[in-house]
Chains A and B, each alone.
Chain A
Amino acid sequence: DAGVTQSPTHLIKTRGQQVTLRCSPKSGHDTVSWYQQALGQGPQFIFQYYEEEERQRGNFPDRFSGHQFPNYSSELNVNALLLGDSALYLCASSYPTLTDTQYFGPGTRLTVL
């Protein structure tokens, strides 16, 4: 049983570009949450997807958008990249109520030059 997987592992972009990160949840999980973790900081909640809809959103600008597919996998898109978007992007999957353990993927390290 595969856990949460994310791709790519590392990514380098330049300012103004757009990026798409991908996440496949743990088998049986239908809720995916995305987090941004800047160096030396705790993760910050970006948004959560359930039943192909954004159910909740953190304090992130509209440049951050996402999508969930019928197979529960998810994408995070960031437009008009800024230097400050450089971070580790983590995906976590769970059941909808989140009363069970959240399972985290290994993350995607994004560097914006």
Chain B
Amino acid sequence: KNEVEQSPQNLTAQEGEFITINCSYSVGISALHWLQQHPGGGIVSLFMLSSGKKKHGRLIATINIQEKHSSLHITASHPRDSAVYICAVLDHSGAGSYQLTFGKGTKLSVIP
């Protein structure tokens, strides 16, 4: 079973700061998701990546397969970025099926 660790658990930043959230996992994976969860529960998928780097607006996600590590960066952070950010890894479990294993999340609060 894959172990997914995120750091930090909690993060408070001033508006405009550059933010980095880290994720490491223990076993090789097929892909990695970064998810955003707002209060109330709704989860939005931000990125799915299996190599390299992806960028969407102010969000950048990178993954290093050899190091089993991924980072999510937020540039020019804004209070509306306040949410829980969750890393989830996609394991191929055989017989054509896959399973998502989640980290516990990083709670980000951006202060005006």
Contact = CB atoms under 8 A, between A and B. Distances in A.
Interface of A: 33, 35, 37, 40-45, 48, 50, 55-56, 58, 88, 90, 92, 96-104, 106-107, 109
Contact residues on B (Cβ < 8 Å of other chain), bracket: 20 to 34
Contacts of A96: 96
B31 interface: yes
Q: Is the interface of B mostly helix, strand, loop or mixed?
A: strand
B45 A42 contact: no
A41 B84 CA distance: 10
B100 A102 contact: yes
A76 to B, nearest CB: 15
B18 to A, nearest CB: 25
A90 B101 contact: no
Given A104-B44, A104-B45, A107-B41, A44 B99 contact: no
B112 interface: no
